[in-house]
Structure 1
Amino acid sequence: MKQRVARMLKAVLRVIGHVLQLALFFAVLAMSWTGATYLTEALYVYTGRPSWDYFADLFNVILGFVFCILFFMVMGLFFRRKEMILLTTIIDAIRRIAKGDFSVKLEYPNRRGDFNKQIVDSINEMAGALGQMEMMRQDFISNVSHEIQSPLTSIGGFARALRNPALPAEQREHYLDIIESESRRLSQMSDNLLKLSSLETDRASMDTRRIRLDRQLKSVILATEPQWLGKGIQVTLEADETEVEAVEDLLGQVWMNLLHNSIKFTPAGGEIAFKLSAGKDFATVTVADTGIGIGQQDLLHIFERFYKADKSRNRAVGGSGLGLSIVKKIAEIHRGEISVHSVPGQGTRFTVRIPYNWK
């Protein structure tokens, strides 16, 4: 209904525009004819008026048309000059953008429906989007360099310490454990970066099928049983029988990452609760824990790559800050969404909504 009304309004505005253009033409023609009449009357004072009024009126009409044509020619040259200036400005802006200057900002009068205004707005929007992408790229490179440099520094430092022949065997084993742990962290970071890169590819090439979501959640919980039992954490599952069309391995990665996060940040004796409910168009999965929680400021950035709400604690448990970025990307690939609610000291609840159909 709204689209039909919008189309009708556009049609009405188009008709009004044509009527105004036609009215302008006749107005200019009338003024030109009037001007020609005054001019010929002034000339007749010196040359005498023709004996036939028909010739006088015909001359006025011809001269009026000439004035009208001259008027539109002059206006055309004026507007063409303005169009050329605008075109030159646009070309210069595109060249600057091609060279990496995304600070381009073109100015143009705010005229609704003007095609040139749309072009200028599109270029400004493109420059802004490219500028944001460039900032994200630089931040990404900076974060990767920082995250890689830290374990490499640890590995290098402890490797040099191992050269000491007088180093006690117990301390030597401790240093080797640290080197092995940092190497695993580097390997995990590399795998996560590759996974994020692969998720950017065409989703149409991914293999999807109907899966029982309740069974998948149960399998993930059982697969991680040694971790949560080792900390004395109680994990519960409340699930309706639900089928969704999805990439099974990717969707399993979502539940695995969320459960690992909850286990990491839930103290011994805590609880983690999974709940699966079937709605009209979406299956909703919540993962709630009684862990340390996340601050409100950190919640704004929790799904950004390499972001860590508690850097020292996250480093202690081997996190790279990529897990939740992967979770969010997988949810988006499935046309779903993820949200988080948390209160520091009381726990965190992640909510994932997945549509039943892939398309």
Structure 2
Amino acid sequence: MKKLPWKKPTKTVTLIFTVSIFAVMLFIMTVQGLSMYFYMKFRYQIEAPLPQFWRPIPLLIIASSITGTLLATLVNRITLKPINQLIQAVNQLAEGDFHVRIHLDLTEDFIKLSDSFNRMAQELENTELLRSDFINNFSHEFKTPIVSMRGFAKLLKNQNLSESERAEYLDVIIRESGRLTQLASNVLNLSKIEKLSILTDMETFHLSEEIRLSVLLLENKWQMKELDLIFDIDELDYHGNKDLLNQVWINLIDNAIKFSSPKGKIVIKLHRQKDFIKFCIMDNGCGMSQATLDHIFDRFYQGDSSHTTEGNGLGLTVVNKIVKLHNGRLEVNSDEGFGSAFSVYLP
């Protein structure tokens, strides 16, 4: 945290004080001289010469300059110093130095100003860290499939490859190109959803049926892992954006399948509770640590730092945004090694 230096008074401030003091002193001396002249003339009938007001002007200029400089310095230290500190701090923020902090404790208002500025600087610093992490993860997610495709494309130039090897390498290229396409689609989808502030295309639809259709869309995935799906679903209708909410169900179910162990169990529940509808999906997979839970909705964040797990860290960011657009909330409970539970509450 950098300490801001004290700034000397500006020439403009010093000049204003000097001219003001000079004008006041000249006015006082003029009034005093004229008063004495007329007093002597009319009270004692003495013909005295008019005072020569120009004679003390050089002395007044010197005295005004000294006094003006001293007053400007004093005012700058007491009154203008915190303002100068704030200006310098704002300039440092504009230059990208988000570590700057100020401590103005002259009055309660200055203390509040310091706290507000420091909170703003802290938020900007956090945003810069998130931006840096976003770029690093984004670069990694795009670079990995491209490098893989390039490597296998080079191997395909080998004339001695067998047909099975050639087919295997082509499958890898197809799979990685699909992964790249999916990543680009997810980024565009996230960008589109994050720009939304008001929901459109609202309709009343059969929510229970949409959840069942989402499970059917992922049938190949959960059948390959031989998962046991347990349903506890009430037949409910809901008024909202059906297409956006389908992304919620598909992302959450897909995550549960992805992190479940083979022959594991997934429980899907849907019930009305007082003034809201609760959708809950629970798995008995690997679970998440507290560090992962703290960042689970960040863009491109993956609990698996090695990036070996399938996915790109955008699904839950999209889910959370869609749920908030419906004035709902998303809760996560997880025990590392025992599984996770995601609950969506829709009003």
With the shorter chain as reference, the TM-score category is 0.7 to 0.9
Aligned length: 278
Structure 2 equivalent of residue 91 of structure 1: 87
Query: Structure 2 CA distance, aligned partners of 1:146 and 1:129?
Result: 26
Q: 2:104 aligns with which of 102, 105, 108?
A: 108
Give the structure 2 partner of residue 34 of structure 1: none
Offset from partner CA, 1:140-166 (integer Å, 9 cap, x none): 111111111111111111111111111
User: How far apart in 1 are the matches of 2:236 and 2:132?
Assistant: 42
Partner of 2:55: none
TM-score with structure 2 setting the length:
0.72
- The percent identity for this pair of structures is 38
Is there any run of 5+ residues in structure 2 with no aligned partner, and where? 1-70
Residue in structure 2 matching 1:173, options 137, 161, 167: 167
2:343 maps to 1:343 = no
Say if 2:199 and 2:325, in contact at 8 Å, map to a contact too: no
Establish whether residue 315 from structure 1 lines up as the match of residue 311 from structure 2.
no
Matched, 1:133 2:99: no
Per the alignment, do residues 105 and 350 of structure 1 end up closer, same or farther by CA in structure 2, a change over 3 Å counting? same
Aligned-residue CA RMSD in angstroms? 2.6
Change (3 A) 1:253 1:240: same
Structure 1 residue 213, shift from structure 2 partner: 2.3
Shift of 1:271: 2.0
Q: Which amino acid aligns with 1:215?
A: E
Counterparts of 2:331 and 2:244, CA distance in 1: 18
SS of structure 1 residue aligned to 2:345: strand
Give the Cα–Cα distance (whole angstroms) in 2 for the partners of residues 344 and 155 of structure 1.
34
Displacement after TM superposition at 1:79 (Å) = 6.2
1:211 paired residue among 205, 209, 228: 205
| Structure 1 unaligned blocks of 5 or more | 1-74
Per-residue deviation, 1:330? 1.8
Deviation at 1:225?
A: 2.7
Residues 275-308 of structure 1, C-alpha deviation per residue, up to 9 Å, x if partnerless?
1121223211110123233334433333322222
> AA paired with 2:308?
R
Q: How does 1:1-359 map to 2 (within 5 A)?
A: 82-109=78-105, 111-112=107-108, 114=109, 116-204=110-198, 206-310=200-304, 315=308, 318-355=310-347
3-state secondary structure, aligned to 1:163 = coil
CA distance in 2, matches of 1:81, 1:343: 57
Distance 2:83 2:289 in 1: 50
Superposition TM-score, scaled by structure 1 size: 0.70
Q: Quick one: structure 1 residues 246 and 127, their matched pair in 2 at CA, closer, same or farther if it must change by over 3 Å?
A: same
One-letter amino acid matched to 2:322: I
Take 1:205 and 1:344, find their aligned partners in 2: how far apart are those partners? 36
Of the structure 1 ranges 94-103 and 265-274, higher mean CA displacement relative to structure 2 is found in: 265-274
Offset at residue 176 of structure 1 (A): 0.8
The SS at the match of 1:283 is strand
Residue in structure 1 matched with residue 26 of structure 2 by the alignment? none
Distance 2:89 2:261 in 1: 56
Distance 1:260 1:120 in 2: 47
Deviation at 1:311, TM superposition (A): 5.1
Q: Which structure is higher in helix share?
A: 1
Question: 2:20 aligns to what?
Answer: none
Deviations 1:60-117 (A, max 9, x none): xxxxxxxxxxxxxxx99966763322222222222221222212211111744x2x33
Change beyond 3 A, Cα 1:243–1:159? same
CA distance in 2, matches of 1:251, 1:95: 44
Alpha carbons 2:198, 2:325 under 8 Å: kept: no
Q: Deviations over 1:204-253 (max 9, x none)?
A: 15332333322221221233233323432222322234343322111111
The answer for the alignment partner of 1:4 in structure 2 is: none
> Which residue of structure 2 lines up, in the alignment, with residue 28 of structure 1?
none
Hey, what's the Cα distance between the residues in 2 that align with 1:84 and 1:142? Answer: 43
1:348, CA displacement in angstroms? 1.9
Cα drift, residue 168 of structure 1: 1.4
